[in-house]
Amino acid sequence: MFSDPSALKAVRLRHFVRDCSAMPGEMSRFEGIEQAEIQAATEFLEAQHLAICAAHDPTVVPLRRRRTIVVSPDVLGRLE
């Protein structure tokens, strides 16, 4: 959460945490947002897990790739 473009330019992607911690600001205002995001992500994952479990059918057999063997006609002639 950056308030101006100059602050955003000061942050490098490779050193994100170190650059952000060097900037002045109060982190307590983000604690509530962080907890809300964690809660939303947890609820989303639980809902997706329940949907997957509800849609799971153990009688379905996974498809298997048919394997083919390519043999040159010359090789078959040599086998006889």
Domain contains 68: no
Domain contains 73: no
Domain contains 21: yes
Return d(Cα 26, Cα 13) in angstroms, integer.
21
* pTM, 2 dp: 0.46
The residue type of 48 is: Q
Domain contains 28: yes
Domain contains 23: yes
Domain that holds residue 14: 1-58
pLDDT tens digits, 26-38: 667 777 888 899 9
> Within a 13 Å sphere around the CA of 40, how many CA atoms are in the beta-carbon half?
6
- Total structural domains within the chain: 1
Return d(Cα 41, Cα 34) in angstroms, integer.
11
Domain contains 77: no
pLDDT tens digits, 3-20: 667 776 777 667 666 666
